[in-house]
Structure 1
Amino acid sequence: MNTAEAIQAWVSGWSASRGTADPAATAWGFTIDVGLPGHVVRHVLTTADDAAIRKITEDTTAPGVWLKAPASPEALEPWLGLGWSLAGGPGFLMSAPLSAACPDAPPKTADGYRLRSWTRAGVTHVLVRTTDGAFAARGQIAVVGPTAVVDQVETDPAHQRRGLGRLVMHTLANAAAGQGATEGLLVATSEGRALYETEGWHALAPLTGAMRN
Structure 2
Amino acid sequence: MEKFKTLTGVAAPMPLINVDTDMIIPKQFLKTIKRSGLGKNLFDEMRYDDDGNERPDFVLNKPQYRDAEILVAGENFGCGSSREHAPWAIKDFGIRCVIAPSFADIFFNNCFKNGILPIALPQDKVDILMKDAEKGSNARMVVDLENQTVTTSDGETIAFEVDQFKKHCLLEGLDDIGLTLEKASAIDTFEASAATSRPWV
Normalising by the residue count of structure 1, what TM-score does the alignment of the two structures yield? Answer: 0.27
Query: Which has a greater percent of strand?
Result: 1
When the two structures are superposed, what TM-score results if normalisation uses the length of structure 2? 0.28
